[in-house]
Amino acid sequence: MAVRYQYGGLSNTRRTGLSVSECTRRLRRLACFEEQLMFLQAAHIISSPQRDVKALLARLQYEDADHATRIRARLTELRVAQLNLRQSPDTAMSICFAEAIRSQSSVELIAALARVLKPALLAAYREYLAETNTLADYATVRLLDTVVREEQEALELLQAADGDLADTREERSAAETLCAALAASLKAAGGVLGADEHDREGQIENDAEPSEPPRGAYEIPRQLTRDDAFPRVWDIEHVTNDRVPERLAQMIATRLGEVTIAEALGCLLYETQGQPWSFYADISRHLWDEMRHSLFGEAAAEEALGERSAMPLRDWESAYLFDMPPLELYAMLAGVESGLMKYPPGKREEFEFCRDKARHPLMATFQDFDWADEVLHVQISRRQLKDWFPGTADELRALGERGLGLRAEARSRQPPSPLPDLSHTVELGND
C-alpha cells in the first residue's frame, strides 16, 4: 500500500505531462501577459480618481511584475537563454491590451480586469498546473501555486471594486462593451496560453530577442485626479522637531502625499521604452513602495484622528512632477532620495523622532520601513541611471539639480496650510 508521503507527497507523478518545450512556450506567454498587465495598471493609476482604486492598481501592477520576474527566472532553468526570455505579445494579445489600455474610466478598467483579464490568467495558470507532471516540473508547480493564490486574492479584490464603481446605466453599458471586445480578442489569441504544441506543428518559432512589446498609442493624461477621500491643500507647514505634535502631523501628511510620486512613476514606467526587464521590475517595485508610504500616512491619520479624511492631501508636487520627461524625473527623484540618507536629518532621524520624541509606535514602525525602502530606492536608482543616462556623472547631477529647481519653484507658488492638532496622541519623551 502506498503511503501518503510517497513521491515526497506529490501527486500526478505518473502522468506524462507537458514537455519542456511546451512548458517554456506556456510560461513565456504567461510572463508576457503579466508584463502587459503591469503596464496597463501602472498607466491608469494617475487617471483613476478613486483613492482606493489607485492603491489597488499600484499593488497589483507590482505583483504582476514580480510574477513575470519569477517566471522568467524559472525559464532560465528550462534551457531558455537569457537573451531569449522576453516575448512580445502576438497580434491578438496586442489588440486585447491596446483596447484595455484605452479604458475611458476606472469603471471600464476595473471591469476589464475583474471580468476578463484576471479570470483568463487564473484559468491559464490552473490549466498549466492540471496538465504538467508535478514531479518532473516541481519547481514550476511550486512557483505557480504561490502565484495562483496571489492572483485569486487580486481577482476577489477587483471583483469587489467592480461591484462598487458603476453608478449609472451608461457606465455599466460601456464596461460591458469593452469586456465583450476583450473577450473576443483573447479568444482570437487562443486564450492566454495560445495554441498548444500540436497546433503549432510545422511552424517555426522565432526565439530571437523580441522588440519592445507594443503598448498601443495610448497617452497618459498627465493631470491630477482625486476623489474626495481627503481634503486638499497646496502644501503643509514644516516645523522643527521640538514642536512634537506639529512635527508628527507633518510627517504623517508627508507620507500621505507620496501618492503623487507613485502616480509620476506610473507615467515613467509606461512611457519609457527600450529598457531591459530589470528596469521595469525595479520601477514597478519603487512605484508600489511610494504608494505604500502614502498608505502609511493614511493608516496613521486614521489611527490618530479616527478617520483618514481628517488629514489633508497636498497637491503641490503635481505642478512639476507631471510635466517632467521620464529621465529628468527619475534623476531628480534619485537626488532627493539620496539626500535623505544623510544623518542628521534624513530618514534615520525621522524614525528616531517617532520612536523617541513622539513615542508613536505605529508611525515609528512605518518610518522604520520607509527608511529601509528609501535605502533600496537609492540602490535601484544608481543601478538604473548608470545604464539609462548616456552622459557623465556631472551631467547627471546637473539634470537632477534642474529638477530640484522646478520642485522648489512649484512649492513656493502658494503658502502652506496648518495641519490637525495631534497633541492628544503624543506622549512626550525625555531627551
Mean model confidence pLDDT for the chain: 92
Domain spans of the chain, in order of start? 15-188, 232-425
Residue type, 234: W
Q: Which fold has domain 232-425?
A: Ribonucleotide Reductase, subunit A (1.10.620)
Average pLDDT over residues 353-366: 97
For the chain, give the percent of residues with pLDDT over 70.
94
329 has a pLDDT exceeding 90: yes
Which CATH number, 3.40.50.2000, 1.10.10.410, 1.10.3720.10, 1.20.1260.10, labels domain 15-188? 1.20.1260.10
Burial (CB count <10 Å: 0-12, 13-18, 19+), residue 148: middle
Q: Which of 282, 295, 280, 287 is nearest to 265 (CA)?
A: 287
Return the residue matching grid coordinates 503579466.
Answer: 34
Query: C-alpha dihedral over 54, 55, 61, 67, to 10 degrees?
Result: -160
The HSE-up count of residue 216 (CA atoms within 13 Å, CB side) is 19
| Three-class DSSP category at 268 | helix
Average pLDDT over residues 96-106: 94
Average pLDDT over residues 127-132: 97
Return the residue matching grid coordinates 489588440.
Answer: 95
| Three-class DSSP category at 172 | helix
How many helices, marked H, and strands, marked E, lie in the chain?
Answer: 15, 2
The pLDDT value given to residue 196: 64
Cell output for 66 = 514580480
| Three-class DSSP category at 233 | strand
Cell output for 212 = 519592445
379 has a pLDDT exceeding 50: yes
Average pLDDT over residues 143-165: 97
CA pair distance 84, 66, nearest whole angstrom: 19
For the chain, give the percent of residues with pLDDT over 90.
86
Query: For the chain, what is the radius of gyration of the CA atoms?
Result: 24
Bigger pLDDT: 206 vs 219: 219
Q: How confident is the model at residue 199 (pLDDT cuts 50, 70, 90)?
A: low
204 has a pLDDT exceeding 70: no
Enter the DSSP assignment of 235: -
Element (H, E) at 314: strand 313-314
Q: How confident is the model at residue 228 (pLDDT cuts 50, 70, 90)?
A: very high
Average pLDDT over residues 33-54: 97
Does 232-425 match 15-188 at the fold level? no
Average pLDDT over residues 354-377: 97
Those residues whose C-beta lies under 8 Å from the C-beta of residue 228, and which sit 6 or more positions away, are none
Query: C-alpha dihedral over 80, 83, 84, 87, to 10 degrees?
Result: 140
Cell output for 165 = 464603481
Average pLDDT over residues 105-118: 97
131 has a pLDDT exceeding 50: yes
Task: Give the number of other CB atoms < 10 A from CB of residue 187.
Answer: 12
Task: Give the number of other CB atoms < 10 A from CB of residue 199.
Answer: 10
CA pair distance 107, 172, nearest whole angstrom: 8
